[in-house]
A and B are shown apart, each in its own frame.
Chain A
Amino acid sequence: MKNQIQITLKDKIRDVFGEKIEQNAQKFLNLNTGKVKTSKIYNVTYSLDSNSIEKFAKLGLCDEITQDYYLNQFYKNSIYKSFILVAKMPGVTDDEGISAQKTLADILELDLDVNTQHIYSEELFLIENELSAEDLKNIAENLLGNKLIQHFEYGKFTGKIDYIPEVHISSNIRTEIVDLNISDADLIDISCNKVLSLNLEEMKEIRKFFNDEKTIKLRKEKKLPEDPTDCELEIIAQTWSEHCKHKEFDAIIDYENLETGEKKQIDSLFKTYIKASTNIIRERLEKVGNNWLLKIFNDNAGVVKIDDKSVFIWKVETHNSPSAIDPYGGAITGILGNNRDPMATGVGGGKLLFNTNVLCFGPPNYDKPLIAGQLHPRRIFEGVRHGIEDGGNKSGIPTVNGSIIFDERYSGKPLVYCGTGGIMPMDYNGKPSWDKPIDSGDLIIMAGGRVGKDGIHGATFSSTELDEHSPQSAVQIGSPITQKLLSDFMTEAALKGLIKCSTDNGAGGLSSSVGELALISNGAEIYLEKVPLKYANLQPWEIFISESQERMSLVIEPEKLAELYDLAEAREVELSNIGKFTDSGYLEVRFQNEIISYLDLDFLHNGVPRKHLSAEWKKPNLVEPNIPQNLDYNDILLKLMGSYNICSRENVIRQYDHEVKGKTIIKPLMGKDGKTPQDAAVMRLDFESFAGLAISNGICPKYGDIDAYEMSAGAFDEGIRQIISVGGKLPEINDRSNRFWTVNDNFCVPDSAFDPVNNLDGKQKLAKLVQMNEALYDMSTFFNIPMTSGKDSMKNDFKAGNVKISVPPTILYSMVAKVDDVRKTVTSNFKAEGDFIYILGKTYDELGGSEFYKLFDELGVISPKVRKINAKRLYEKVTKANEQNLIESCHDLSDGGMAIAISESAIGTEFGVELIISNFEELSLNAILFSESHSRFVISINPKNKLIFEELLGQDCLLIGEVTSEKKVKIALKDKIVVDVEIDELQNAWDKGLGN
């Protein structure tokens, strides 16, 4: 039996969402829909009498002030000639339906099963104009939904909707035995057909293990088949996936520099550069008894010490592949998944303080034909933005900063970097919070959402190139409300000492979480029939590797179980007791008492054969462009201000809650009008003190086309200088105040493994990756700024037929530094008329890769280079100046160079600027205005501090002008005016850059 309830707005109420659809159909699809009326349909499959269903519709679903409800009939109005129904496909998260179930139980005082789906929500759009089926399909698929996860119906509305996405799976549950003693071609077939993403060598290694006499003997004793089960193969594939084992960052690389003839072998990029640099810094710190680096690389997130009472945990991840095919779902799952890392570091239960997001997209005006499966960059942008909005806002975590970069090469796979910082008490009931102890006999408790088919093969999927046949189950939609309940519960349970430790279920699901935790006690036993499901009849292996979201694996001591269950019941979080840790050395998985997997943990985690890759470096053949003479610099400045990589992100920023929790001190936009863009975010840690954090992002992939080493070094410098800009201070080994710096490195590169057919320039790409790592090591050890966690994403290519769109090699350095007093931090907006403006740091003729050259479609040869010693000297001076409160405003120089930085500092204030440029003798005007040389700032000071400031900064500062009351940017080269443009005009160009 089914009841259908439709909720519509009363005709007299303005339908703002309908209006938006009408506008967007016109703007993006050139379709005239006429009026659009939105409505919701709730299909209720619980058995309810007519009074009950009426009461539910009236009180539970309908807002009587603005809405009407229709029970088992639909709103009718002959002015609407067409309709579109947007429903979810079976198994796709339907939070609205689940919330409706919960309110039904509340209102009717019923004891209902609200954990599985019984109410299905759908959206019905009535459209005034009679549109063709093709046009309606266009609107449905390109404006209203995504055909990978949604079911559409459209045409002329008949007053009947039958579709309900109930999940039906035939009940043929069995565990398959897979014979691996077959030909190489057949081994590859198995890997492909089962989406294992294992190569031939790896398949053979697995065969070798199962053919080993010891294995055969043991399996006989255990009454297991000689050949592996499907579950075992799936566990190995998940554990050995690039996503989980980082095989390329762990590979042996033969590197040859064809320019110099230098050859070297690198034994793991991760160990050689990332881990080694942090270890060096740790040694330096420990030598003087400084131990704020509490945990690095070996948990879900790195941990550093804030003070004796609390620790800071933080992690940045990417979610690129899922965001390419379902931008909303990919991004929301990405941010919620990343939130779970700091939530489940050590014991877990940390409180999340902030999110950051860095996004790389194709340009919104992309006009090349889309290849199969490729979504338009504008759609990806909007979907990802929306996912981050819901993921952050609905979880009550402020999104405090980020960055958006446009480049045509991100049109296939976008890059979606999600970062989250959190705080845990230093200890819970006297036990260190960041430790992860597990003993044999501890219980494995799954908490949070249920398990369905969603996200099966996510871990292996992200390790492959995308193509038009990408599996639908790779798409998932996160549920922020489920996770919010879970995270509140965990915080409470951890404070009560009920949780021994925890980890999250992300990529690889239980297989990954339990498989990794099992290493601590050296064994685990799981009973899969105890795992609660969203719907019946999942295969056992599917249950084990499903990536259904919002789940944690908790390690619980048996004596704490009852109290934990009581709390979970009171907080409406579902727990299931699914197994226990052992010290057997094996991962044992049972389903209804039958062993379906019995894997040696050592083989599982250490048995993957190492990759051997080749890298070759040859300098690209580039030339310096001829830029026309006698440029109109007003026009250039306006064009730059409106260009994609520079223009305002306000429309995006305002849709993120960047100040929930009340601790955000420097927000993304500040100043009189709340429009001036800032460098790093600053947050205070609590309401009792003014200690805080500065949070920055360094990323500049464009320079990598010229020099990958300098690109990576530049990104590192950008991360540092943003924090210096807001008033941060470089780390000092001897500083005993736990004034930590912590970095997450995130590499996103195209397929860099050479292949004579599919990846001809693989060696060159790998050489760039090596150079990016060398820069990381050099910068990190020079500045004593350590990596504490990070991630690599190795296959950022989008393929269909013989077209491949590959991202440029990209590195993001996300940095957090402790700030002593947030009240002393510095914002970028000019503060007062008459203040003197200085440029700090030397400008070089480094226009290669600049936004200025991009205006002329040119790349150039000389890109910005980091001069570490000079940079450090300057940063230390800036800090000294800030200690004396000398700097009124500070903005770091990046995209667009000096001319853009001074314009941005004036935007949203009541001021303009007047500059006279005379002391850059050897540089061209283009370079003075637009060179993007690193390690520079534009600052302003109160004129009364001129002498003391100049004495402090010496040759590192150059007075270039002053803040004026005339709202103009005026720049004179000696006595010739080269720029004279109204701030309002600049702001207009800046505001409209993204077409909002």
Chain B
Amino acid sequence: MKNVKALIITGFGINCEEEMAAAYKLAGAETKIVHLNDIFSEKISIHDYDIMNFPGGFSFGDDLGSGKVLSNKMKFKKMKSGKLFFEDIKDFLDEEKFVFGVCNGFQFLVKMGLLPNLNSDFEQEITLTGNNSAKYEDRWVHCKVNENSKTPFLKRIDKLFVPVRHGEGKLIIKNEQIRNKIVEKNLNCLTYCDEFGKETSEYPLNPNGADLNCAALTDETGRVFGLMPHPEAFLSLYNHPNWSQLKRQNPDIYEDGEGLQIFRNIVEFIHRKNVKSTKKK
């Protein structure tokens, strides 16, 4: 799958770029970690890549609200040629390419209007804000996949056990109409649940009080995907908080982490798509 090229954005306080790159490498893609300013200065073009990734972190220290300053930078900053970077992202999406955001990265996508983007007008429709617990927390949560979701990222996954590590992950939707559309179109692709897969709003199973108990969103194409939990933090069995007991129970247990499947899915999907389009040509 060497023909899949994953671009991983960094800079300004993003701090999960290395494990994100490791995830793509393990999934068989070619990866490059690039400072956002090197894209603005056009040293790097996003169009040379199949998927653009926004990792987690504390961009601008979460000042003015998580993801706020960096998403505005991406919305308003002009590249060296004078083109708005945001227009470049839109072109990238028009090429039917993929965008993925985790945690802080999800916060950018939401605040830039890339998710859920119901009207294709890139206006902000939801936000991610302070947890009901009024604190940052690192804890592992169970999530279940919306079986009607079409996004390739979540294929063949029903449930995920992954850590959340945020202070501002509570999803709030602008109005009832948008809320209904999200549900109707199955854009709420991942839901906080208990260990048996039952959706719940109960803290700490739902760690932040998100509306719809929603942990992740896609746009209608399924090509833009963002989530609060960190799949790139569970690449190996040994990231699991109870790996040692799992191994006792099953000495032959698979040594990959559940989070890796998301990266495998998307890399494989892009690979197939690229093969097809090469054939067409």
Contacts and interface: CB of A to CB of B under 8 A. Distances in A.
Contact of A571 (B11, B15, B63, B131): B11
A389 B61 contact: no
Contacts of B186: none
Interface in B222-262: 232-233, 235, 238-239, 241-245, 248-249, 255
Size range of the interface on B? 35 or more
A19 B134 contact: yes
B269 interface: no
Contacts of A390: 61
Contacts of B15: 395-396, 484, 660
B130 interface: yes
Contact of B165 (A653, A660, A909): A660
Contacts of A671: 241-242, 245
Contacts of A102: 60, 69
A660 B56 CA distance: 9
Interface string B116-148: 000000001111011111111111100000000
B26 interface: yes
Contact of A60 (B61, B72, B137, B173): B72
Interface in B195-237: 232-233, 235
A951 to B, nearest CB: 22
Contacts of A942: 248
A99 B69 contact: yes
A61 interface: yes
A514 B262 CA distance: 50
B180 interface: no
A437 interface: no
Contact of A823 (B26, B72, B238): B238
Contacts of A556: none
B37 interface: yes
Contact of A829 (B26, B41, B233, B244): B244
Contact of B62 (A13, A16, A394): A394
Contacts of B61: 95, 99, 390, 394, 479-481
A662 B76 contact: no
Interface stretch (A103-111, A304-312, A340-348, A859-867): A103-111
B11 A656 contact: no
A627 to B, nearest CB: 38
A63 interface: yes
Contacts of A450: none
Given A99-B61, A109-B78, A480-B61, A16 B69 contact: no
A667 B238 CA distance: 11
Given A64-B124, A96-B63, A481-B13, A831 B245 contact: yes
A806 B123 CA distance: 59
Contacts of A63: 65, 68, 111, 124, 127, 129
Interface in A229-276: none
Interface string A1-33: 000000000000110110110000000000000
Contacts of A656: 138
Nearest to B56: A660
B83 interface: no
Given A65-B126, A570-B38, A658 B13 contact: no
A16 B78 CA distance: 37
Contacts of A103: 60, 64, 68-69, 72-73
B235 A831 contact: no
Contacts of A389: 136
Contacts of B163: 659
B115 to A, nearest CB: 13
Interface string A666-688: 01011110100000000010010
Nearest to B73: A106
Contact of B134 (A20, A59, A571): A20
A661 interface: yes
Contact of A481 (B60, B124, B127, B235): B60
B112 to A, nearest CB: 12
A36 to B, nearest CB: 12
A484 B26 CA distance: 27
Interface string B40-76: 0100000000000000111011111100110011001
A989 B57 CA distance: 35
B238 A684 contact: yes
B25 interface: yes
B18 interface: yes
B93 interface: no
B77 A106 contact: yes
A654 interface: yes
B257 to A, nearest CB: 9
A664 interface: yes
A394 B58 contact: yes
A942 B138 CA distance: 32
Interface residues of A, number: 72
B190 interface: no
B88 to A, nearest CB: 16
Contact of B244 (A13, A65, A654, A826): A826
Interface in A812-848: 822-823, 825-827, 829, 831-832
Contacts of B64: 60-61, 96, 99-100, 103
A942 B245 CA distance: 12
Contacts of A659: 138, 163, 165, 233, 239
Residue of B126, B130, B132, B255 ringed by the most chain A CB atoms within 10 A: B130
A66 interface: yes
B18 A661 contact: yes
Given A102-B60, A481-B60, A65 B172 contact: yes
A394 B58 CA distance: 5
A571 B10 CA distance: 11
Contacts of B60: 99, 102-103, 481
B35 interface: yes
Contact of A667 (B16, B135, B241, B255): B241
B241 A657 contact: no
Interface string A64-107: 11100000000000000000000000000001101110110011
Contacts of B90: none
A10 to B, nearest CB: 10
A389 B135 CA distance: 10
A488 interface: yes
A100 B72 CA distance: 11
Residue of B41, B62, B244 ringed by the most chain A CB atoms within 10 A: B244
A657 B138 contact: yes
B248 to A, nearest CB: 4
A572 interface: yes
Contact of B174 (A60, A65, A687): A65
A60 B10 CA distance: 21
Given A65-B126, A655-B137, A831 B248 contact: yes
Contact of A488 (B11, B134, B174, B238): B11
Nearest to B26: A687
A831 B248 CA distance: 7
Contacts of B245: 671-672, 827, 829, 831-832, 909
9 contacts: A59-B72, A66-B172, A96-B63, A98-B63, A395-B58, A658-B138, A662-B233, A664-B239, A829-B245
Interface of B: 10-13, 15-16, 18-19, 22, 25-26, 35, 37-38, 41, 56-58, 60-65, 68-69, 72-73, 76-78, 111, 124-127, 129-140, 163, 165, 172-174, 232-233, 235, 238-239, 241-245, 248-249, 255
Given A485-B12, A669-B241, 11 more contacts: A16-B132, A103-B73, A393-B136, A481-B60, A484-B13, A485-B13, A488-B10, A654-B137, A655-B136, A674-B241, A829-B242
Interface of A: 13-14, 16-17, 19-20, 59-61, 63-66, 95-96, 98-100, 102-103, 106-107, 109, 389-390, 393-396, 479-481, 484-485, 488, 570-572, 653-665, 667, 669-672, 674, 684, 687, 690, 822-823, 825-827, 829, 831-832, 888-889, 909, 942
Across chains A and B, which 4 residue pairs bring their CB atoms closest together, nearest first?
A396-B15, A662-B19, A99-B63, A481-B61
